[in-house]
C-alpha cells in the first residue's frame, strides 16, 4: 500500500495552502492509501481550535469540517 505524508506549512497566513494538506489527506483516505498529516511552521497553529475555526481556504470547505474527516479517518497528525 502506498504511504502518503501531507504537510501543512501554513495557517492563517495562507488559508488555502493550509487547507490543501487536509484535502490531500482526505483524498488519500478515499483512495484507500495510508496517510499521515504533519503540521510544521505556521501549520502548527491549526492545532488550536480557536485558530482552526478561522481558516477557510478559497473554494474549499471550512477547515473544521476537514479536521473532523481527518479525525474520523484516524489519520495520525504530527505537530
Mean pLDDT of the 43-67 span = 96
Question: How far apart are the C-alpha atoms of 45 and 30, rounded to whole Å?
Answer: 26
Question: How far apart are the C-alpha atoms of 68 and 77, rounded to whole Å?
Answer: 12
pLDDT value, residue 39? 97
**pLDDT class of 2 with cuts at 50, 70, 90:** confident
**pLDDT class of 1 with cuts at 50, 70, 90:** low
* Sequential DSSP letters for 12-23: TT-HHHHHHHHH
- pLDDT tens by residue, 4-54: 999 999 999 999 999 999 999 999 999 999 999 999 999 999 999 999 999
Amino acid at each position: 500500500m502506498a504511504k502518503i505524508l501531507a504537510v501543512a506549512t501554513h495557517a492563517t497566513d495562507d488559508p488555502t495552502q493550509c487547507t490543501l494538506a487536509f484535502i490531500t489527506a482526505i483524498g488519500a483516505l478515499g483512495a484507500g492509501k495510508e496517510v499521515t498529516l504533519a503540521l510544521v511552521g505556521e501549520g502548527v497553529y491549526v492545532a488550536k481550535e480557536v485558530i482552526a475555526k478561522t481558516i477557510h481556504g478559497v473554494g474549499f470547505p471550512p477547515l473544521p469540517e476537514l479536521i473532523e474527516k481527518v479525525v474520523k479517518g484516524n489519520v495520525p497528525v504530527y505537530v
